[in-house]
Amino acid sequence: MRVVVLGTRGIPDIQGGVESHCEALYPRLVQLGHEVILMTRTPYVINQQVTEYQGVKLKHVYAPKIKSFEAIFHSVLGVMVVFSLKPDILHIHGIGPALVIPFAHLLGLKKIVVTYHCPNYEHKKWGRLARFMLRLGEKFTVNYAQKIIVISKTLQESLKEKYNCDSIVIYNGVNPVIKADKTDYLQSLSIKPQQYIIGVGRFVEEKGFHDLIAAFASLKNTSYQLVLAGDADHKTDYSEQLIKLAKDNDIILTGFIKGEKLRQIYTHAALFVLPSYHEGLPIVLLEAMSYGLKVLVSNISAHIEVNLPDNCYFDLGNVKKLAENIYKLLMSSELFDYSKLLVQYDWERIAMQTELVYQKTTSDVA
């Protein structure tokens, strides 16, 4: 089966939850015998001479690196390229890129699967017009996609309530852990194993890192450091203010990291914190759990669905409670075993579930 993928910035080693999802999923679908062609966005591809990753063919398509237009511009161009490839399945990631579904239908592309990762219109970074377009993309997904995959039961229930539509839950996954033996990257940052807290993600308002910095700054009599691993895709007033706030409070900023550097950061951390206001199902949380870290997350529905122990949650936006819970977990000798929780987040299983969706799509749209 030939599958063309649209809606991601690209793979490998490109920041973002959708990008991590695609990087893990599609090589496995290639191993299952499918041909996968993934559309990248040129501003994020360091070497455009590279046209394959673990069997996934990469098709580099131009996109302007402009926050409000990048995804839709790329998707329109991408659909025109897709038409020439004659795929068995067009798999679109996200409700923004899903705006092009009617155009795809006009070009004769009928077998369309959409993975709904999150209701992006809830994110504060978007203006009124962008939110309207994202809501429209959601409606196009519901009305015109042949199959809808959602990454959480929370999203499934939301779509059922709003549109009375059916969707298929296929969770995000997490790769098997390869813990780091070395600490040379930590040494380069002047941090000590088990003496730091980590936050991982993009520097956008919905991740709540401003709350984490404020909570950390309020802690007294602690030798722990705070490390933020991530960056902004597009510089904004918020991301610039966050970086300044971090530097003013002696927070360590690594920038976007992957591979051995990220393994060292996860392996030797004392605590992982994710104070998000909105999420679909964060892969970074699953990664932290796979390393056996103590984790502390906001009590939003996407996090609650993971079913962590009660003391792993704090009230969203409550900086005082966040600080108190950080201190309690740092001082606690309690160990967490997430092995039973992580069973359902296996990428091999997820690839096979996705393959079944493709098979059902092709049989339904003959």
φ, ψ for residue 109, nearest 5 deg: -90, 105
Q: In this structure, are residues 135 and 110 in contact, taking their beta carbons and an 8 Å threshold?
A: no
Do the strands 35-41 and 56-61 form a parallel or antiparallel pair, or are they unpaired? parallel
Q: Closest Cα to residue 141, out of 119, 124, 126?
A: 119
Residue 253 structure tokens = 């900023």
| pLDDT of 238 over the 80 cut | yes
pLDDT for 129: 82
| pLDDT of 234 over the 90 cut | no
Residue 160 and residue 199 share a domain: no
Per-residue pLDDT tens over the stretch 50-77: 999 999 999 999 988 876 678 888 999 9
Residue 336 and residue 225 share a domain: yes
Residue 85 and residue 194 share a domain: no
Q: What angle do CA 46, 50, 52 make, to 5 degrees?
A: 125
CATH number where 124 lies: 3.40.50.2000
Residue 262 and residue 224 share a domain: yes
Per-residue pLDDT tens over the stretch 321-359: 999 999 999 999 888 889 899 999 999 999 999 999 999
Q: Which residues pair with 5 in a beta bridge?
A: 38, 91
Residue 218 and residue 333 share a domain: yes
Residue with tokens 């080693």: 13
Residue 238 and residue 283 share a domain: yes
CA separation (Å) from 96 to 63, 79, 168?
14, 14, 19
At CB < 8 A and 24+ separation, what contacts does 19-24 make?
A: 20/283, 21/93, 21/115, 21/117, 21/151, 21/172, 21/283, 22/93, 23/53, 24/173, 24/175, 24/347
φ, ψ for residue 285, nearest 5 deg: -65, -45
Distance (Å, rounded) from C-alpha 164 to C-alpha 327? 44
Residue 112 structure tokens = 């369309």
Tell whether 238 is covered by a domain.
Answer: yes
Tell whether 178 is covered by a domain.
Answer: no
- Which residues constitute the domain of residue 283? 184-342
Tell whether 179 is covered by a domain.
Answer: no
Distance (Å, rounded) from C-alpha 228 to C-alpha 213? 9
Residue 156 structure tokens = 């499934």
Prediction pTM value? 0.90
Total domains, the chain: 2
Residue 163 and residue 296 share a domain: no
| pLDDT of 109 over the 90 cut | yes
What's the whole-number mean pLDDT along residues 161-172?
96
Distance (Å, rounded) from C-alpha 198 to C-alpha 207? 13
HEC string of 180-245 equals CCCCHHHHHHCCCCCCEEEEECCCCHHHCHHHHHHHHHHCCCCCCEEEEECCCCCCCHHHHHHHHH
| pLDDT of 119 over the 90 cut | no
Helix (H) or strand (E) holding 89: strand 89-93
| pLDDT of 253 over the 80 cut | yes
Residue 102 structure tokens = 């009617």
pLDDT for 235: 85
| pLDDT of 123 over the 80 cut | no
Residue 197 and residue 132 share a domain: no
Residue 123 and residue 248 share a domain: no
Quick one: residue 250, left, alpha or beta (phi over 0 = left, psi -120 to 50 = alpha)? Answer: left
Residue 260 and residue 144 share a domain: no
Residue 199 and residue 165 share a domain: no
Q: Work out the number of other CB atoms within 10 angstroms of the CB of residue 46.
A: 9
Residue 92 and residue 37 share a domain: yes
